[in-house]
Every structure is written in structure tokens, then in C-alpha cells.
Structure 1
Amino acid sequence: MYSNNSANPNQPQNPFLSQKEDEIDLKVLLFNYLQYWQWIAIAMFLGVLVAFLFNRYSTPIYKVESSVLVEDDEPSLGMDLFESGGFPGIGGKSNIENEIGILKSYTLAEESVAELNLNVEYFREEFLRKPRLYNNLPILVTVDWSTRQVVGGLYRLEVLDDSSFELTIEEDGFSVFNPKDPYYKSQIEDFQLPRSIFSFGEEIKGDQFAFTVNQISSLPGDVLFFRLVDTPSLALKYRDELAVAPTNKQSAILSLSLETANRRLGEDYINKLMEMYLNRELKEKNRASESTVRFIDEQLSGISDSLRFSENRLQEYRTQNKIFNLSEEGSVVFERLNELEKERSTTELSLKYYQTLRDYLNSNQTGDLVAPSIIGVTDPLLNSLVETLSELQAEQVRLSTNFTDQTPAVRENLTRIDNTKRALQENVNSAIGNTQNTLSDLNNQIRAAEANINSLPETERNLIGIQRKFTINENIYIYLLQKKAEAEITKAANMPKNSILDSAKSGQLPIAPKKSLNLLIGMILGFIVPIGFITVKDFLNTKIEDPKELENQLKVPLIGMIGRNNSEDAIPVLNNPRSTVTESFRSLRADMSYLSPNRNNLAILFTSSISGEGKTFVSINVASVYALMGKKVILLGLDLRKPKIADDFNLPNEKGMSTCLSSDLHWREAVKPTGYKNFDVLLSGPIPPNPAELLLQEKFGKIINEIKEAYDVVIFDCPPVGLVSETKELFSFSDINFFVFRQAYSMKGNTQILNNLVEKGGVSKMYAILNDVHVDKGYGYGYGYGYGYGYSNNSYGYHEEVQLPWWKRALRRK
């Protein structure tokens, strides 16, 4: 009942009591929320209802998945030598991250979207949503993408009859797509169609748009929607929505997934994306063969003319000189020269390839590398370096499409290209020198063999010379044709190293909305929102609500709490003695025997910070509770500015304390009986012009002393100490002083007024009372105020039983 401020600070605290206080706080907090249980229940119901409607009318989202197996390339011959020589990244192993980057690249998405022709999105109207149409379209919109087009906004199409329709703008947000600058669109404000009624098959054309709507299976009255979307925007959209990740850290299997509202569309897109991915890989593999074929075709175009010319000369010489075969000696010399010439031709072709490769490296070109093995160069190290450089350059093109030059992956790949080029240049320079030496040796051997021809007849010598040129050109031509055939066979035999494990499949159940989770979230939000609102409201509340909080702010004990008087009767102690309010006043009377023991006469003062806090109500009922126990009690109305006691007792206020202080009227003549036994009242009297000066007269002190001798209990009903000054002078006449606060009415800052009275004003025997405590907020627990108890309505009890709601009775049982 008493405040902790009056306890001995040196006394050890009881852990059980501390635990009990925490329990009381939690119960008070729970009661504070439970008084709004109807609103919380309504909010939770609304939260669940909103979640149900969201589940019912939101568009289901499905997850489409597929998988790709990424095969690792076998290391090329000689790669271990270069890796050990300090050239990083010249191996043949595929990088999973690179393959993920390829699958999520803008270029691949753009190719896939273009193949599927997804530039027109169709929708139908349903309640609260517009699901997208993909197959079995009722109309078909054809767009001329070679001209400027207005894209982005939503058109509404209503079919009027079999040949006409009405076209309007449903949603704005249009922008102009220019095919000459496809990656930058300009916004357009207030886009309007030339008219609203059109015919099917008619071109709808304007300065910045041109499209045609064709009838397929729509019926009169059908309402459809469509949107034009340019390919770059679609590619960016699908690239961002596609998720690619390895199935696990050690796996070379990539999982592709896409969340979409249209399952068939998602499956078609992922399947097309994987198809374009494998085609792209196949094109990369065919690049070397195509470059080789082009190189050989260039050589063939020059040698074919020489072969035709030498063949004609040979035929003409044989016809004119009637010589068709060489002699035995001439055949030997010819065969020897033929072998040397063939070897020299092959060497010259290799030298030409090396020189072309050197020029390629010096000019920093990219792409179109011819494989050395196709030309006949059998150096394994050179073949490996050319193959590696080609792969690294292709990788650089892929990375540059998706990343900037400052990206670590791009910079690392550039370093690998530079290292490979340096190694290749050294190898090519060495090969050129060796080839030139071999060619010089072959020329010496040919000159030596040609010397043996001089011993032959002139006709035979000329025949050998002509036949030599023909044979040389023929051998080179046949050799190039053979290499071209090999390159074409290689191209035809190329297959992507990666493969599709699973085609795109959609789950049977949607992944969104998550119905159970949404219902739970709706219920939780419906609970949290009102709880949060109540918490914020209480946090911003400047009125006194919690007795515990009041007790902690005061420098004096909180001696008691008076419950809310639900009746209009101002004196429940006398008129309703079994009420819970009466019991709280009895409890206060019992406590005052401890506050001022061994006193036969008692003077009690009641004041407050402002008017309306219930000090007069408390004064009257404290006086009444003493009168009930047989004490002779008088209630003094000292609030000369705003008297209220006369109205509560239905008494005229024509004379009272102000009359006694301002005239010769004796105070006994001004005392009036209240109509209740042992209970008199001295009203405040007419409102004087100088109430403060009247109460400060010596005459007032004499009157108070006489009254104390005549009565057992004297109750002072004083004006609010926070508003007037004379109350501070009245504390000297009382034995016990009470400062009345009112729950949900008194300001929290008013506690400082009471603290200043004690600390700076030197007022002693000061205590606090909290009036008008709301039972429904549960603040009565542990503060000497409860709900009352009794046996039954038709038997006896201590005071009147209060019927509580079910949730309050349940908490009390706990």
C-alpha cells in the first residue's frame, strides 16, 4: 500500500517481492491491451480477410526450371608447359562462372526473345486482375518494328462486331522506340490515338507508330488488352528475371529457373534460351573451321589460274613436238624435282601462314584465327597456343558484353590474352626462321637437280620444265582441296561440349501467393498494427495512467487509490456502503491510523494541482467514512474561488467561511448539518473579492483551533495548490496532507508540483492519492484496490460484487 520511497534503503530486498512486482507490471500491461480486445479482434479479422482476398485474386506465379551440364575441355598438348612457365589461365578448363555469365548475358536473352517474337503482350480482363494470354490468341497484333513505335503503355480493345473494334488507352507510360537507336527511348506525354473505332486488318498508323490488329477468334463484346514492348526492354527484363546457379559447389550442372505467371511462356523462353546457348557454343567452335575455309579459298583462287595456264601449255607443247613421255633418265630427274618442288610448296604455304599469323598478332586483331593443323603445321605447341588464344578472345567478347573494362574478370582475361600472344609471337618468330632456313635448303637442292637436266635433249628439257610447273600447281591445288575438305568435315562434325539435362518444366503448384503464409502474415499484422497504435498512443500520452509510474515519479508515498465512481451519487460512502469505491475509502481510513497514530483529533487536508482532479469528492467521502465509525466530523470548504460542496449536499451557500472571515458572524452559526449523523459542513460561502487575504488573517487560525476542539476529525477541502497561493499557508493547520491526482486527467508533469512542495516548500506529512482509477485497465492490482469479493448475490459479503468480462475473470483466477 505504501510507496517504496518510504522503505528503508538498507533493508535487503525480497526476491519474491521483486518477482511479484514484475508479475504485476506484466498483468497491468496486459490489461491495458485487453481493454481494446474488440478492436484487436476486428483488426486481426480484417488482416486475415485482406490476405484471403489477396490469395484469391492475385495472379499465381509458377517456377519454371531446367538444367544444363557444363563439360570441361581437355587440356591441349603443351598447356602444362606454359602453366609452369608462368602463363596463368592458358588451360582448357571451363569456368562455371563464365558459363553462368553467358546464360545471363543480354545478347543471349535478346536472341531468344527475337526468336520467340514476344514483342506484343496480350491480357484478358478478370475481377481485380489481368492475366496474360500466350497461346490461342483471340487477336493478333502485327507491328512494323523497322519504324518508330510507341511502346510501354497498355491498350484496351473492345470487339464491336466481326469486322470492327474500339481501341482506347488503358494505362499511360508510353515511350518512343527508335530502331536506329534501339537502346535509348524517349518519353512521350499525353499520347492519343487518331480515333477510337478501327477495322480488323486496318493499319493503325501515326507519326510515331504503325501496327495492325487482325481477327482470329474474338467475339463481339470481348474486352482485351495488349502492350507493345521493344526487344531490348524485353531482353533486359528476362535477363534480370532468369536465375542461374550450380546445383552445388562441386557440381558442373547449372540450374536455370524463371518465375512467371504464364507457365508455357516460361518453358518456351528457357528452352529457346538453352537452344541459343548451344548454338552460340557451336558457332564459336565453327569459327576456326570457317576461317580455315576462307583462307584456303583465297589460296585456291590464285593457284587455279596458274594450274589452268600450265595445263594448257603442257598440252600445246606435247601436240606441237609430238612428245608425250620422258626418257628413263628424264623420268628420274623429273621425279626428284617433283618431290623437291612439292616439299617447297608445302614449306612456302607454311611460311605464308606464319607470316599471316605474325601480322595478325602485330595488328592486335581479334577473331578469324586459322588453326595451324588445318594448314599442315604439326607443331603441337603452336596448335595449343592458337587454340587457347581463340578461346580467350571469344571469352573476352562475352565478358565485354556484360561487364566494363575495369571488372576484375575482364582485366584478368586481358592479362591471359597478352601472355598467350607473347608466347605465340616467340613461337611464330622461331618458326618463321626455321621455315626460311628449310626453304633455302630446298632451293639449293632444286638448283642441283636442275643442273642434271642440261644433259637431256632440248625438247625433253623443255617438256620437263613445263610439266614441272603443271605438277607443282596441281599438287598445291590438290593439297588445298584436301585441307578444305578436312576443314568442312571438321565443321560438320562439331558438336557443343555442353548439353541439356532437363528441358524446362513448370511446377504444378504456384510458388506465389503463399496462401498459408499470407494468412498468417495478415493475422500477425492485424495483431501488431493495433498493438503498435496503442503502444504509440500510450507513449505519447501525457496524462497519468499507471500508478506504478506515478509512484516512481513522486518523492512522497502513494498512500492509496480511489476507484471510479460509476454512479452519479457524489457520496457513495453514505449512500452505497457496499460499493467498491466505499471500500477504497475504508482502506484509506485504515492507513491514516498508521500515518498519525495516537491522536484523538485529526486534521486532514486535501488539495491537487488543478481543478477537476476530484479533491472535493475525496474530501467529502473521507469525511463520510469517519462519520460512519462514530467520529464527529466537519468538512471545511476552503476553496473560496470555486466552491462545490454546497451543490453536492443540496445546501444554499449564502453563508460560510468567507462570511465568518469578513464579518462578525460566528463560525458555529455558519455550520450546517449534512443530514447524516456525526457529519457537519462549513461551506465556503459567497465568493469574496480577496480570498487569499481572508485565509491569511489571524482570525482564520483562531476559527480553525476552535473547530479542532469541537470536532474529532476536521477535513480541509482546499483550492488547487498549483493554481492559487493561499493553499501553501493552510498546510500548517493540518496533521496529514493529501495531494490528489486523477487517472487519465492529471498531467504527468504535475508530479513536480508535489515534489517541489516537499523538497523546496518544506511541507511534511504529505502523501499522494490517485483518484478515479479505471478498473477495466487493471491498475488496481497490488495497490490496495480490487474488484471486491463476496459469496453470492443472495447471501452476505463484504462489499458489492462487480461482474467482470470473461477475460478479466480468467486473468484473476491466474
Structure 2
Amino acid sequence: MYPNTPNPSNSGQNPFMVQKEDEIDLKVLLFNYLQYWLLILACMFVGVVVAFMFNRYATNIFKVESSILVVDDKPSLGTDLFESSGLGMLQGKSNIENEIGILKSFSLAEEAVAELNLNVEYYKEGLISTSQIYEKLPILVSVNWRQAQLVGGKFRLEVINEDSFELRVDDDEFRIYNPSDPYYKTSPAESISLKKSVYSFGEEIKGDNYSFTINQIAALPGEIILFNLVDTPSLALKYRGELAVSPINKQASILSLSLETPVRRLGEDYINKLMEVYLDRELDEKNRASENTVKFIDEQLSGISDSLRFSENKLQKYRTENKVFNLSEEGSVIFQRMQELEKEEGQTEISLKYYQTLRDYLVTNQTGDMVAPSVVGVTDPLLNSLVQAYSELQAEQNRLSGNFTDITPAVRENATRIQNIKKQLQENVNSAISNTQNVIADLNSQIRNLEVDVNSLPKTERDLLGIRRQFEFNENIFVYLQEKKAEAEITKAANMPNNSILDFAKAGQSPVAPKRSLNLLIGLILGLILPIGFITVKDFLNTKIEDPKDLENQLKVPLIGMIGRNNSDNAIPVLNELRSSVTESFRSLRADMSYLSPQKNNLTILFTSSISGEGKTFVSINMAAAYALMGKKVMLIGLDLRKPKIAEDFGLVNDMGMSTCLSTDTPWQKVVKSTGHKHMDVILSGPIPPNPAELLLQDKFGEIVKEIKQAYDVVIFDCPPVGLVSETKELFGFADISFFVFRQGYSMKGNSQILNNLVEKGGVSKIYGILNDVHIDKGYGYGYGYGYGYGYGNNSYGYHEEVQLPWWKRALRIK
């Protein structure tokens, strides 16, 4: 019947001193959790309900997306020379990464936010949550951002009528924004309070750190609106952090812009404005080059215009006064040749001025856009490439400096490239200046040679030729500069951004959050995991004996029986509830005695435990009653002289007993009391003596026991806890069979070691374990009261009557 029932022939040594292997029974583990099925089911239901309520009232988040086509930069003539030179002057760059950096830059976000005027956020209260209003605003708040403002906290406005409203602080988590230091905000020195509570629409609401006006649009009486002020730098940081920019794939030059926001239209407007500002900035960079070109030409024209006007007036006056209008044939040939040389000289001098301007630009470390050499007629491909590369690296440095510090590796690396290009450019410019000066000197030499031929002409014609030379020279330069200016203006007018918008911002039709199905699943899983985790941790931290199998594995002696929980108020169910499962468990234990101690007509049984409260007295009394029901003559002896309990259970007075016999000459027959059952007598422990241990160790006690064994068929000792007192160890020698009582949910797991030590170190034999008060089903085979075991419980075959607990207590495992 029991897995470790001893062989009857082994009456001396304990045959059960075997090592048990630790193993995990998955079936037992499963039923350990299934006993809490109602709790787990309730938690799962709560988890799903919480997830449903979260889905119901959570703010919907929409994903807004757009796309931009980025045109890869084509290397200009000669650029590949620097990319492959190995000098580190100009490294190849990823245009896609640069454009992502620009789109994610703080300055671009700040410009977009400023143009959209998003510095006031409006909210409307709901039953549970608050939602932001973006379109169809009931009021309009105008803020004076030129003075300090309270940002972050919320104001609560309640409309009184169409002319007035009540205003108060709803959330005082304010920070003070100072326009003189816009990127640093301070905390108010004291709590914020308004000067009054009722204002009129259009009235300026002004205080130490706030100044704004609220205008009526479509607000109704009784309507409540919340709003808060947000400074532009904070908004720019917010949207910059929320914006995601990435290529649609590794090979494409198309960027996808996305933003998750609870207000779809706001997200669309922001991304569209951001792309607009991004393209405008690119166009402005192109236009700046044309504007610098026009500015340079205008500076040259301002000087040549006066010279041209003066020479024109002088020529006209000379012709009028001398009546000379045309040159002779010889003079015309000389003039034509000189005009060609002077025109070439004038253009060369413009190139020289450009080189000198470019040299001054490099020497003074200016950072503005440079005029392209091709604009002034310089066609040197190397110089053009250097100027273009230098301009691009400077623009890149400006972008990087706007987002990173000077010690950032990317900024330092780009600065090194700029210095390398600048050095090469300075050498090229100095060389070009020297060469240009030589060309001008050669042209001047040719002109001087022609001037010798001019001196052979008549004075009147010679003077006319000189005046006309000056006029034609100025006119040619003026016309040349006007042509270049027109070309630059045409270029500016024709400028278009290289990049373009493929898709304008559009929000998805369904929200990306909350993920309703996933939340319900998470709620269900958490509802399952949390109670299981709680049960696991509770069992792990539980130091009490719960599982009979665990106790059986810990013991080095057999766990011979289990006593179910007594759900009635009767302390002796064996006598009063003959069909109860508890009574049957004692009958089963009584039947096992024939195997534990065979061929004995008289039987002495000892019951002890580790501590009080484990039910050894209850087991002793009911075991005695079980033998009495057989017609055996039973004597129950209370040997717990320190804390007697038997008298209380039988309704007797503990006025005399074993302590009386041992401390006086009173014979044991005088202290025997009737239990009310004709086959069962009891000797109580008697009055508590001052020396209980010494009394039980007297030889007289052995003589009394010997006489009692001769008079009775079964003698049962109710001994004190062996874990607390010492005399019990001496009493084991008087017993044929000893039982160590444990109590489920009460005895400590370490108490099993006390029993093991009695066997291993104390030499106690014929001792077995009993688990009392079994009421928690831990798996197959132990189901007293709740389980699937021997048939003593609620699911048995109907042989026994059992006190039923309410269903909810059985489901929740409430004792």
C-alpha cells in the first residue's frame, strides 16, 4: 500500500536507510499549479480586462510618412584627382548620410517649428484621458516671446460667456524661458499664481514671467480648454528626436521620413514644412553663390561706370571742338590693334582682381561663399575643382558644427581636410597671380610699341586716338561685366533644388499604437505568468512542509501514513464520525501495524514530534480510539508533563496522572481514568512537576510501564516533542513502534533532519513518519480532501461522509 513498506523480517535494523534521488515530477508540478486554477483564471481575466480598458482609453498614435529623392553629387572636373591622390585632401563622402544629417539637424527643425507657429498646445479633457486639439481651435493664445514666459505647465480655461473666461493654473510644473538665453531654462523661485482669476477675451494677461493674450474664436460657455506654452528650442528638440529618417534600402537614394504622433494633421504639417524648409535651404545655398557673383561684378561696375561716363563726355567734347570724327586709315589700323590688346588686358586685370580677392579671402579665413572662377572667365579646371571642393567642405563644416562640438572626430577630420585644400588653393592662387601679372606686363609692352607708331600721326588725330582708346577700353570692360552679371542673374533665376519631394506627408489610416491585439495577448500572458510566478516564489520561499513527496524524499525512514484534515469540531473523529475520511486514515494506519510489528499480542506505540502544535496528541488519541473500536483493551498515557492536552480533549480534570505516580507512592491503578469508551482508558500527565525529565528517567517509570503492558493489549504514549525536550529520547526504548508526527503547512522542512538524526546518530530503530493535517493536494496519490488518491476525499466512491468546504474555498485552497 505504501511505497516503502518494510519487510516483516527486518525487525532489528531500520531497513529504510536508503538514499533517495532528487527528481522533478512534471505531473506533480502541474497539479501544484492547477490547484490554484480559479486564482489563475481570475488573474487572466483581470489582465484581459486591464488590457481592454487600456486599449479603450489610450491615445491613438499614428505614423506619418513621406519620401524625398536625393540626387547624388556628381564630381566636378578634377575632383577625382583629389579623391584618389591619397593626400587626404578630399575624401569621398556619402551624400545620403549628409542629407540625413541635414534633415535631422536642430536648425532645420527650429526653422520649421517657427514657421508653423506651434508654440501653444491646446487640449480638451475627456472622461479619462486628455486629447490634443490642433484644428478648429476654440480659442487662440497670442504669446509675447520677446519677454520671459512660463513654459511646460498647463493653464486651465473655463469659458464664462462670449466675453470673459476664468483662468487658473492646472499643472504648475513650469520652467522659465528667457529669450536672451533661449537654450537654458530656470525653475520658478515660488509657486505660480495668477493676479486674478477672471479675464476678458483680448485682454493682456501679464505677470513677472508671462505675457499673453487669449482671443475668442468659437468657444462656448462652460467649455473647458487646457493649454500650455512651449518655446521653439524645446519643440525643435522634441520633433528632431521623434523624426526618423532612413533610406528605403541600401542601394536607393530615396529617403523616408516618418513621425509618430497622436495628431495626424499636425504630423503631416510638420513633415511637409520640414521638407519645404529643407529644399528652400538648398536653393538658398545655390542662390548665395549667384548673389556673391553679382555683388562682385557690381563692385567692378561701380568703378568702370564713372570712367566710361567721363571718357564718353571727353570724346564727344573733343570731336565737337576740333571737328574731327574719324581716324585716317593708318590711324584706324593702329587703333584696332591697340583696342584688341587693351581689351585682353582689361579682362586679364579682372582675373587678377579675382585672384587677389580669393587670396584675401583665404588669408583672412572668411567663411562666406566664394565666387566661382568660371564667372570671371577663369577656365583653369584645377582651380575650379579646388574652389568647389573648398566651398563644399566649408558648408559641411557649418552643418557639423551646428550639431556637434569642435572635438567631435567628424568635425576635426573635416577641419583637417579644409586645411589641406586651403593650402593647395593658396599655392594655386599665388601661382595664378604671378602668371597673370606676367601676362599683363607682356600686353603693356606690346601696347607701348604701338604707341611709338601713334606718335607719327598728326597731333589732332593722335589726341583723338588716345581719347577714343580710353573710351573703347572702358566700354569693352563695361559690356563684358554686364554680360557676366546677366549670366549670373539668369543662373540665379534658373536655380532649382537638386533634391525633390516624392511623396508629401500622409498619415496611415489605422493607428500604430496601441497595438490592441498584442495588448490583449500581453494582458492574458501577464495574467497567467504573474500568479504562476507568485505561486512559484511562494513555494520556493516556503519553509513549511507542503508536499508529502518532498517529505518522503527528505526522510531516511518511511513516511508510513497520512492523516487528513479534521474539518469538524470534534477532537476524536474516530469515535464520533465513523465514516469520515480522517477515521479511515487511522484505520489504514492501524492495519499497517501488523506489517510493522508482526507476531505481537501486546503492542506499545509512541508518538512524538519536533515541536508542539503538530498534532501528536490528536494522532495519539485517535489511534488509541481506532484500536478500541476493534475491541482491544487500550491504555493511552500522557507523558507530556510540561504541556498536557489529553484531559481537555476528553473533558477530564488533570488533577492526577503519571506525574502523581512518579512523584508519590500512588499506584498507577489509582490514576487511571475512563474515556467514556469501555475498551479505552487513559492516564493523564497529571499536575506539572518541577522536574519532568528526572521523573520519567526513574526506574519506577519502567516498572509502571511493564505492569500496564501486562494489563492492556495496546499501550500508546503521547510523548513531548523530541525537538524541544530531552526525555523523549529515553522513552523510545519502551515502545515497540515509534511515530514522528509532521503537520502539513505547519512543520518546518528542516524538522525532517531531527528524525534523520534520531536514526543515524541516536540509534532509534522502528521509527516512522506520519504526515498530519493533509489538506493540500500536490499531485496523484495524496488527495485527502481534494485529490485523486485513495478515495477518501470529495471525488471518492461514496464510502465515507466528509465535511464539505464551500466551493470557493476549495478552489482557492483556503484552509
Common fold: TM-score over 0.5: yes
- Any idea what the Cα deviations from partners look like across 1:67-95, whole Å, max 9, x if unmatched? 11111122211122222212457478652
Q: Quote the Cα distance in structure 2 between the aligned partners of 1:202 and 1:791.
A: 82
Note the 1:469-488 alignment, pairs <5 A. 469-488=470-489
Q: Quote the Cα distance in structure 2 between the aligned partners of 1:84 and 1:220.
A: 73
Note the 1:640-659 alignment, pairs <5 A. 640-659=641-660
Q: Show the counterpart of 2:185.
A: 185
Q: Show the counterpart of 1:458.
A: 459
- Any idea what the Cα deviations from partners look like across 1:634-663, whole Å, max 9, x if unmatched? 221111222222332334434322222233
Tell me by how many angstroms 1:489 deviates.
0.8
Note the 1:250-649 alignment, pairs <5 A. 250-649=251-650
Contact map agreement 2:104 2:240 (CA 8 A) in 1: yes
SS at match of 2:755: helix
Tell me by how many angstroms 1:630 deviates.
4.5
- Any idea what the Cα deviations from partners look like across 1:47-84, whole Å, max 9, x if unmatched? 32222222222221111110111111222111222222
Q: Quote the Cα distance in structure 2 between the aligned partners of 1:759 and 1:301.
A: 118
Q: Which amino acid aligns with 1:56?
A: R
Q: Which amino acid aligns with 1:713?
A: V
Provide closer, same or farther for how the CA distance between residues 322 and 612 of structure 1 changes in structure 2, counting only shifts above 3 A: same
SS at match of 2:716: strand
Q: Show the counterpart of 1:126.
A: 126
Of the candidates 29, 34, 40, which is equivalent to residue 32 of structure 2?
A: 29
Tell me by how many angstroms 1:632 deviates.
3.4
Q: Quote the Cα distance in structure 2 between the aligned partners of 1:7 and 1:805.
A: 40
SS at match of 1:538: helix
Tell me by how many angstroms 1:807 deviates.
12
Residue ranges of structure 2 left out of the alignment (5+ in a row): 6-13
After TM superposition, the structure 1 stretch with the greater mean CA deviation from structure 2, 22-31 or 466-475, is 22-31
SS at match of 2:181: coil
After TM superposition, the structure 1 stretch with the greater mean CA deviation from structure 2, 381-390 or 752-761, is 752-761
Tell me by how many angstroms 1:712 deviates.
3.1
Note the 1:143-158 alignment, pairs <5 A. 143-158=143-158
Q: Quote the Cα distance in structure 2 between the aligned partners of 1:724 and 1:517.
A: 61
Q: Show the counterpart of 2:247.
A: 246
Q: Quote the Cα distance in structure 2 between the aligned partners of 1:370 and 1:573.
A: 113
Q: Quote the Cα distance in structure 1 between the aligned partners of 2:33 and 2:389.
A: 74
SS at match of 1:366: coil
Q: Quote the Cα distance in structure 1 between the aligned partners of 2:72 and 2:237.
A: 29
Contact map agreement 1:615 1:717 (CA 8 A) in 2: yes
After TM superposition, the structure 1 stretch with the greater mean CA deviation from structure 2, 156-165 or 202-211, is 202-211
Q: Which amino acid aligns with 1:748?
A: K
After TM superposition, the structure 1 stretch with the greater mean CA deviation from structure 2, 770-779 or 433-442, is 770-779
Q: Quote the Cα distance in structure 2 between the aligned partners of 1:110 and 1:101.
A: 14
Residue ranges of structure 1 left out of the alignment (5+ in a row): none
Q: Quote the Cα distance in structure 1 between the aligned partners of 2:30 and 2:797.
A: 30
- Any idea what the Cα deviations from partners look like across 1:545-600, whole Å, max 9, x if unmatched? 22233334444433322111112222223333332222322333344434334433
Q: Show the counterpart of 1:219.
A: 220
Q: Which amino acid aligns with 1:96?
A: I
Provide closer, same or farther for how the CA distance between residues 797 and 344 of structure 1 changes in structure 2, counting only shifts above 3 A: closer
Contact map agreement 1:563 1:775 (CA 8 A) in 2: no
Q: Quote the Cα distance in structure 2 between the aligned partners of 1:792 and 1:273.
A: 73
Aligned length: 800
Provide closer, same or farther for how the CA distance between residues 274 and 173 of structure 1 changes in structure 2, counting only shifts above 3 A: same
Tell me by how many angstroms 1:776 deviates.
4.9
Tell me by how many angstroms 1:521 deviates.
2.2
Q: Quote the Cα distance in structure 2 between the aligned partners of 1:27 and 1:578.
A: 31
Contact map agreement 2:560 2:768 (CA 8 A) in 1: yes
Q: TM-score, normalised on structure 1?
A: 0.92
Q: Quote the Cα distance in structure 2 between the aligned partners of 1:135 and 1:782.
A: 68
Tell me by how many angstroms 1:336 deviates.
0.4
Contact map agreement 2:742 2:769 (CA 8 A) in 1: yes
Contact map agreement 1:73 1:94 (CA 8 A) in 2: no
Q: Which amino acid aligns with 2:42?
A: I
Contact map agreement 1:789 1:801 (CA 8 A) in 2: no
Q: Quote the Cα distance in structure 2 between the aligned partners of 1:512 and 1:348.
A: 68
Q: Quote the Cα distance in structure 2 between the aligned partners of 1:151 and 1:669.
A: 96
Q: Quote the Cα distance in structure 2 between the aligned partners of 1:287 and 1:87.
A: 30
SS at match of 2:517: helix
Q: Which amino acid aligns with 2:390?
A: L
Tell me, yes or no, if structure 1 residue 112 matches structure 2 residue 112: yes
Provide closer, same or farther for how the CA distance between residues 204 and 797 of structure 1 changes in structure 2, counting only shifts above 3 A: closer
Contact map agreement 2:742 2:772 (CA 8 A) in 1: yes
Tell me by how many angstroms 1:196 deviates.
0.9
SS at match of 2:219: coil
Tell me by how many angstroms 1:704 deviates.
1.1
Q: Which amino acid aligns with 2:232?
A: T
Contact map agreement 2:546 2:776 (CA 8 A) in 1: no
Tell me, yes or no, if structure 1 residue 708 matches structure 2 residue 709: yes
After TM superposition, the structure 1 stretch with the greater mean CA deviation from structure 2, 442-451 or 98-107, is 442-451
Q: Show the counterpart of 1:789.
A: 791
Note the 1:771-782 alignment, pairs <5 A. 771-776=772-777, 778=779, 781=782
Q: Quote the Cα distance in structure 2 between the aligned partners of 1:404 and 1:313.
A: 61
After TM superposition, the structure 1 stretch with the greater mean CA deviation from structure 2, 339-348 or 602-611, is 602-611
Contact map agreement 1:544 1:746 (CA 8 A) in 2: yes
Tell me by how many angstroms 1:281 deviates.
0.8
Note the 1:54-73 alignment, pairs <5 A. 54-73=54-73
Q: Quote the Cα distance in structure 2 between the aligned partners of 1:458 and 1:293.
A: 42
Tell me by how many angstroms 1:6 deviates.
6.2
Q: TM-score, normalised on structure 2?
A: 0.92
% identical equivalent positions? 72
Contact map agreement 1:57 1:127 (CA 8 A) in 2: no
Q: Quote the Cα distance in structure 1 between the aligned partners of 2:198 and 2:800.
A: 84
Provide closer, same or farther for how the CA distance between residues 340 and 509 of structure 1 changes in structure 2, counting only shifts above 3 A: same
Q: Quote the Cα distance in structure 1 between the aligned partners of 2:16 and 2:256.
A: 71
Q: Which amino acid aligns with 2:166?
A: E
- Any idea what the Cα deviations from partners look like across 1:654-678, whole Å, max 9, x if unmatched? 4322222233332234334434354
Tell me by how many angstroms 1:126 deviates.
1.5
Tell me by how many angstroms 1:352 deviates.
1.6
